A and B are shown apart, each in its own frame.
Chain A
Amino acid sequence: MAIVERPVTPALARGGPSTPALVTPSSALGVFRRPVSSTGWRSWVFTVDHKKIGIMYGVVAFSFFIVGGVEALMIRLQLAMPNGKILSANAYNQMFTMHATTMIFLFVMPTAAAFSNYLVPLQIGARDVAFPRLNAFGFWCFLFGGVFLNTAWFLGGASDTGWFAYAPNTSVAFSPSHGVDFWALGLLITGIASLSGAINLIVTVLNMRAPGMSLMKMPIFTWMVLVVQFLLLFAIPVITVALFLLIFQRDFGAAFFSVDKGADPLLWQHLFWIFGHPEVYILVLPSFGIVSEVLPVFSRKPLFGYKFVVFAGAAIGFLGWGVWAHHMFASGLGPVSVAVFSVATMAIALPTGVKIVNWTMTLWGGKLRFTTAMMFAIGLILEFTIGGLSGVLHSVSPSDTQQTDTYFVVAHLHYVLFGGAVFGLFAGFYYWWPKVFGKMLSERLGKWNFWLMVLGMNMTFGPMHILGLQGQPRRMQIWTNARAGDGFFNGAFWNLVATIGSFILALGIFMFILNVFRTTRKGAAAPGDPWDARSLEWMTTSPPQEHNFDTIPHVHALDDFFHRKYEEDEETGEITQVSNYEEIMHELHDKADKQFHMPSPSYWPVVLALGLPIIAYGVIFNRLLAVFGAAIVMFAIFGWSLEPSVADESDYEPPSDDESTKELATIG
């Protein structure tokens, strides 16, 4: 007999009808009983709880991180020496294509989704997202899409056209394996995850904030997530269209990119980068949000220039749409277009610079505690600055025609995406681990993790600046001594350094995995407010109960939790502690709501998502299979539509009249 937290309907809270002896969940479509368990594997597979979904996003995304990391190590091994022999040209091309695809679509984006899913409702004082089943559906699309993409390795080879997949190299004549089909269909499926997640979080943030939390009192992480969701909302449809064109080109004889039928292959580049550049901000803004939470907490100061950071984030969200062609400065757009995109690219450096200034000024005059989370956040400021500055150099378009498609760009993008996005995610891991799992990650291993990653990343990507400026193009299976040069900038030396660095980086990431295992097995239980934090997600238990808050807090200020704990003397600015976590929690608990309206688990999200890869396999191998997949999808859509959002009362045993178990119910 399990104890579950469950929706309590008014009727039940009043005492309800007489207790049924056996629990008989109501049926869905007359066939299946609605899932109700809150323990065991069923409680995960059929969950609609944003926290469980967030954790699943994180676990799956991190697994893909390891896959993408192994791919990266293979690439670096191949390039360690001249005329590398580790990978064939064909294998190498698949490797770098899948490395980028995996890291972008299957690691950074879903890890950001993990944080957003878990934290946004907590940060705004909500009990779940607006559309809980849609949320679960998004996760399953991501998982099945990602797995589908990677099954290509075993079914004739993965895509070998690069993650940018420039036409016409993606047509069947030039890429005859099914790799590109897997790639395009897989990304379409994961795109559904991003799109449904975007709509869900936008509605959640705009409608479900706690009373008193105006937009300008919203935590900065939630703000950045909101900007990212709008970017996704408009960017994903563009890549979706592009991928559809590509699939019709490859599998149904269309000619969208066939030059011999009058098409212009630059169409693909425009579509891809109109998605692809906002995508960069989609990847990096959540991490900007994370460090904007972490730096104030460990500096004991509010974020410097909160409004500026919010508006800078929004400005990036707008300007991000006007810079896509800076990926195409060598494509032959003509000087007028290139000039416009050069200037726009310079302009977007400004709001980005604003963030760096504000983070640094947040540190200034603070009381800095160097926890691992804080170190990753400070690391982000420095590493991202390097990537940002080399980005400004690319905006000088004539200069970019020398650097584009060389290792200089590889260095730039990894300083932005590893030094920026990934460092931010790691800051988030350390900062919110106690919140999510109720245990503290080891700070000692954390320091190892941080320093090895800093050393590894700079050893790996730093030399790539040199290699690129020395003229080593990217995406080359081999390099030769003949073009490596001599002296300090000798390419052979720096290629080897980069490879050694990549293994140090991998060791750093291994430290994190080790830390997670040790913490899970014998980590210290986390106090409720281990960091003396500032925002609402810390104003509940760790890990939070299913309904997040016993009572929805009323918000009076930005950093409301901090202001409940501390009072500021108006004149002297002196800070005095007036309360603490325990007292605030007691207060909230005493006012606990009598009933919570919580959504019930459902089969349909996972069933619906399962139909999609079956359709995709069908498109590639057998159209009948696609029909079968479509039937599953239709069935699930009907089931979903007819299912009430909350399970029948009779699915549960009612709670006892005893006040102490008012939010609990037991089922057999």
Chain B
Amino acid sequence: MTNLRTRYRRSALSAAAVGALTLLAGCAKDAPQDTFQPAGENAREINNLQRPPFMIAGVVLVIVIGVVFLCVIKFRDRGQVIPKQTHGKPALEIALTIIPALILIGIGIPTVKTLFDLAKTSDTQCVVNVTGQQWWWEYDYPVQPGCLPGGITQPIVTANQMVIPAGQHVLLRITSRDVIHSFWIPKLNGKRDAVPGRVHTLRMQADQPGMYLGQCTEFCGLSHAYMRMEAVALDAPGFSAWVTNQLAAYTPPPAGTPAADGEAVFLANCSRCHQVNGIAGSDGKPVIARPDLWVYSGATPNLTNLMTRTTFAGASFDLLTPDCRAKLVDAKSADFTALYLKGVEANCLDAVQLREWLRNPPGKKPMYTDATKLGPTNGKTRGMPNLGLSENQIDQIIAYLAERK
């Protein structure tokens, strides 16, 4: 009897410990990719589904540990006689098979239900095409009636930061231009692989405006660790403003400024790969980038409105200084949209990161750019090569890019 009671007390204690740990998990602060802190309905559905099995697993573990320790203490060799050679008790075996089977059925039914719920696409309000490549993400917004009142009337192409309207059911259509990547914003939904030649869908919905971080989770070669993503949810008017700004006409820098010199340097060095919508050459004709001639995956980030996003190079580095970045990430959801729409302001621009990048990109982020080793890719690089820019040129390019918003 006492034995039973101690056993009961012990398992109760352990269950309490498991509960406390789970509670602690719930309180963890500022873990941007915590899988137990959903911020949208899909992730919440997953979270509701996964919590009970985690608890059950904890309890089962405690029971197994308890019973094994009990055996170890109780049945230690103290010189007792050799025990009866019992070969098993089929009734007990069957019971101990049926109980876990019932638990698994209890877990299995909601699993299958949630699975089909999460695969629904019928309630889509907004579509974003997501394309992975070594080692960054491109987001393009096709012309569509959804996303905002009046719809999106011109396609938008952007990179590294995916801007979505908060509250809406966004459907991502995910693919890849080279190897397999995986798109993952833990607070908004689970992962979905980006497979070349296939388009996979993934639902996204964010309850509140804010920034939700993620990371490529399918190993995709050399710079896999530097392939990150940031999902930015804006309130409805904010999203409309963002779309309007993305579609605004090109504003060339005023002549005679460093930015104007920067435009020339950009045209000479960058625009063969990087598109800036509306930029024109000295002959007045629009300049169209041809990244497919230089880069194996065939695309490079569109830089039209670089300073409306706060990160670059696969979201590996910030355009914002750490202070400004912290202010934005920690902003209350009510203030977030306005703050984000300001873009990277002059006093917030972290030119050091950008300068280091322009000086030697493969030195800052591992990439395949060594000209002697590009045989298998027909001389095309995977990533951005060192362009050998002078410090002066770098300053001018930064002056030019700082106005792109």
Contacts and interface: CB of A to CB of B under 8 A. Distances in A.
Given A332-B192, A343-B112, A368 B76 contact: yes
Contact of B86 (A266, A330, A365): A365
Interface stretch (A65-73, A168-176, A521-529): A168-176
Contact of A399 (B49, B75, B108, B174): B49
Interface in B206-237: 213, 215-226
B1 interface: no
Interface residues of B, number: 97
A437 interface: no
Interface in A126-166: 160-162, 166
B86 A304 contact: yes
A191 to B, nearest CB: 23
B60 interface: yes
A334 B120 CA distance: 11
Interface string B20-36: 00001101111111111
Interface string A431-460: 000000000000000000000000000000
A301 B83 contact: yes
Q: Which of A162, A339, A470, A471 is most buried by chain B, counting CB atoms within 10 A of its CB?
A: A471
A361 B93 CA distance: 10
Contact of A483 (B60, B116, B213): B213
B35 A264 contact: no
Contacts of A90: 222, 366
A390 B180 contact: no
Contacts of B375: 176
Contacts of B219: 93, 161-162, 166, 169, 405, 475
Contacts of B89: 305
Interface in A320-335: 330-332, 334-335
Nearest to A367: B77
A476 B224 contact: yes
Q: Which of A259, A403, A478 is most buried by chain B, counting CB atoms within 10 A of its CB?
A: A259
A482 B182 CA distance: 21
20 contacts: A168-B178, A259-B196, A259-B197, A305-B93, A308-B90, A360-B68, A364-B71, A368-B77, A382-B68, A386-B61, A395-B107, A469-B35, A471-B35, A471-B186, A475-B219, A477-B225, A487-B27, A487-B30, A491-B31, A573-B85
B19 interface: no
B54 interface: yes
Nearest to B101: A350
A37 to B, nearest CB: 46
A397 B108 CA distance: 10
A378 interface: yes
Contact of B88 (A306, A485, A575): A306
B181 to A, nearest CB: 10
Interface of B: 24-25, 27-36, 43, 45-46, 49-50, 53-54, 57, 60-61, 64-65, 67-68, 71-72, 75-77, 80-90, 92-93, 96-97, 100-101, 104, 107-108, 111-112, 114-116, 118-119, 134, 174, 178-180, 182, 184, 186, 189-193, 195-198, 200, 213, 215-226, 296, 366, 368, 373, 375-377, 382
B29 A486 contact: yes
A470 B88 contact: no
B182 A405 contact: yes
A265 B196 contact: yes
Contact of B376 (A172, A308, A381, A403): A172
A385 interface: yes
B67 A169 contact: no
A166 B180 contact: yes
Given A365-B83, A399-B53, 5 more contacts: A89-B223, A90-B366, A300-B77, A360-B67, A488-B24
Contacts of A488: 24, 28
A398 B41 CA distance: 13
A402 B182 CA distance: 12
A308 B87 CA distance: 10
A169 B227 CA distance: 15
A366 to B, nearest CB: 5
A335 B198 CA distance: 16
Interface stretch (A26-34, A351-359, A639-647, A654-662): A351-359
Contacts of B114: 398
Contacts of B104: 346-347, 349-350, 392
Contacts of B77: 300, 367-369
Given A405-B182, A573-B85, A483 B376 contact: no
B49 to A, nearest CB: 6
A574 interface: yes
A471 B182 contact: no
Contacts of B186: 402, 471
A516 interface: no
B88 A361 contact: yes
Contacts of A335: 115-116, 118-119
Interface string A411-447: 0000000000000000000000000000000000000
Contacts of B64: 356, 360, 381-382, 385
B327 to A, nearest CB: 14
Given A346-B108, A405-B217, A330 B31 contact: no
Given A90-B366, A301-B83, A342 B108 contact: yes
Contact of B30 (A259, A347, A378, A485): A485
B366 A389 contact: no
B92 A361 contact: yes
A467 B151 CA distance: 41
